[in-house]
Chains A and B, each alone.
Chain A
Amino acid sequence: MFHPITTVHYLVLSAALLLVGTIGVLARRNIVIILMSIELILNAVNINLIAFSHYFQQVTGQIFAIFVITVAVAEAAVGLGILIALFQNKETVLADEVDLLKW
Chain B
Amino acid sequence: MIDTLFFYLFALMTLGGGVLTITRRSAVHSAIWLIVSLAGAAGLYLLQKAEFLFAVQIILYVGGIVLLFLFVIMLVNLDQAARERQFNRQWWLALASALGVGGLIFYFLRAGSGSLQLAAAPVPSPVLEGNTERLADVLFSQYLLPFEVASILLLVAVVGSVIMARKRV
Is A63 within 8 A of B143, CB to CB? yes
Residues on B with C-beta less than 8 A from A30 are 27, 78, 81, 86
Contact of A5 among B4, B61, B91, B156 (CB under 8 A): B4
Looking at A39, A75, A92, the one whose CB has the most chain B CB atoms below 10 A away is A39
User: What residues make up the interface of B, taking CB atoms closer than 8 Å to A?
Assistant: 1, 3-5, 7, 11, 14-15, 18-19, 21-22, 27, 30-31, 34, 37-38, 41, 44-45, 47-50, 52-53, 56-57, 60-61, 64-65, 68-69, 72-73, 75-78, 80-81, 84-91, 93-95, 97-99, 101-102, 105-106, 109, 113, 118-125, 127, 131, 134-135, 138-139, 143, 146, 150, 153-154, 156-158, 160-167, 169
Q: Which residue of B lies closest to A33 (CB)?
A: B30
Report, as a range, how many residues of chain A touch the other chain.
35 or more
A59-B134, A66-B53 known; A22 vs B4 contact (CB < 8 Å): no
B21 near A36 (CB under 8 angstroms)? yes
CA distance A15 to B103 in the complex (A): 10
* A50 CA / B86 CA spacing, docked (Å): 34
Complex CA gap A15/B80 in Å reads: 34
Chain B contacts of A35 at CB under 8 A?
Answer: 69
Q: Which residues of A contact B (CB under 8 A)?
A: 2-13, 15-24, 26-30, 32-33, 35-37, 39-40, 43, 46-47, 50-51, 53-57, 59-60, 62-63, 65-67, 69-78, 80-85, 87-89, 92-96
- B157–A12 CB distance below 8 A: no
Q: Is the CB of B76 within 8 A of A84?
A: yes
B146 to chain A, nearest CB (A): 6
Across the interface, A72 reaches (CB within 8 A) one of B65, B81, B99, namely: B65
| B68 shortest CB reach to chain A, Å | 6
Contacts A84-B72, A85-B164 supplied; 13 other A-B pairs, CB < 8 Å: A2-B4, A5-B47, A36-B34, A43-B41, A43-B61, A47-B44, A57-B125, A66-B139, A69-B56, A72-B65, A76-B68, A81-B163, A85-B165
